[in-house]
Amino acid sequence: MKVKPMRIKLLFIILSAGLLSSCATSPTGRSQLLMMSAGEMDQMGAQSFAALKNKLTIEKGSRVNAYVRCIANAITQEVGGSWEVVVFKDPSANAFALPSRKIGVHTGLLKVAKNQDQLASVLGHEVAHVLANHSNERVSQETAVKQSLAFAQAITSPQTGLGQTGMALLGVGAEYGILMPYSRAHESEADIYGLDLMAKAGFDPRESVNLWRNMAAASGGQAPIEFMSTHPSHNTRITNLQAHIPAALQLQKRANAQGKRPECRR
């Protein structure tokens, strides 16, 4: 069926209007596309966290839990709300935060984050992802790309070999040209926002650099090249953090003057 040019133009106008109405701004001033409501994201976050608690082994050690929660609580007090913190017995050096105020920490991370300030840099980073609506943005980007591809298929001829090849190329282009760069932007944004959060809680922001040096050492040089990775390279991360540390140290100085001096011991 041949689609009339006027109908195509109308569909583009409707799609563009819907996308523009969902625009927002990140904490660093970057434009964002947010198509999900806060309630929808909270529901997805809560469901995902419940599934993880059923799937993974939860660490029961009181000292480990007290240590992690001491750091997490100091950071989350800066942003408000009641956050659930769970330590999972898993060897991977990982942590995450989800919409609906959930934080998960793998025990393997404690071998890389050598002290409270280094772990605070990771948790500040993960909480920053939530506060900056990165999950919503990622879901929205995926939705927008899939809708765009479906729309393109409707107005072209996907039944032909050339059409199928074009769709395949567009899919690859969308993945590496739209979604992955945004993911790198999310990581860099969360690094800086998270650095401020940990400093406001009284932790030493300079330890964030040591944390990523530890990460680089732990990876054994096996990290993927930056262009093909959703994360910035360790060196890029360290350089960006170092540039922002003077400002973060002023935040820590102010926090310390207010009596915020975390003393979380393993």
Pairing of strands 95-98, 84-88: unpaired
How many Å is the maximal CA-CA distance in the chain? 71
Structure tokens at 228: 């093909």
Pairing of strands 95-98, 102-106: antiparallel
- How many beta carbons lie within 10 A of that of residue 136, not counting itself? 23
Active site annotation includes 207:
no
Query: Could you give the C-alpha distances from 255 to 74, 161, 243, in angstroms and in order?
Result: 11, 63, 20
Query: Could you give the C-alpha distances from 135 to 25, 131, 187, 266, in angstroms and in order?
Result: 14, 10, 12, 31
The pLDDT score that the predictor gives to residue 204 is 98
Contacts 24+ apart (CB under 8 A), 242-249: 242/209, 244/192, 244/195, 245/195, 245/205, 245/206, 245/208, 245/209, 247/196, 248/195, 248/196, 248/198, 248/199, 248/205, 249/199, 249/205, 249/206
In 3D space, the residue among 201, 210, 183 whose CA is nearest the CA of residue 253 turns out to be: 201
List 59, 78, 126, 137, catalytic entry:
126
Q: What is the pLDDT along the chain (266 residues), one digit of tens a residue?
A: 444 454 444 444 444 445 544 678 877 777 877 877 888 888 888 888 888 899 889 999 999 999 999 999 999 999 999 999 999 999 989 899 989 999 999 999 999 999 999 999 999 999 998 998 888 887 777 766 666 556 455 545 545 554 344 334 345 345 445 555 557 788 888 889 999 999 999 999 999 999 988 888 887 766 554 444 556 676 778 888 999 999 999 999 999 999 999 999 98
pTM of the model: 0.78
Query: What residue has token string 């599934």?
Result: 51
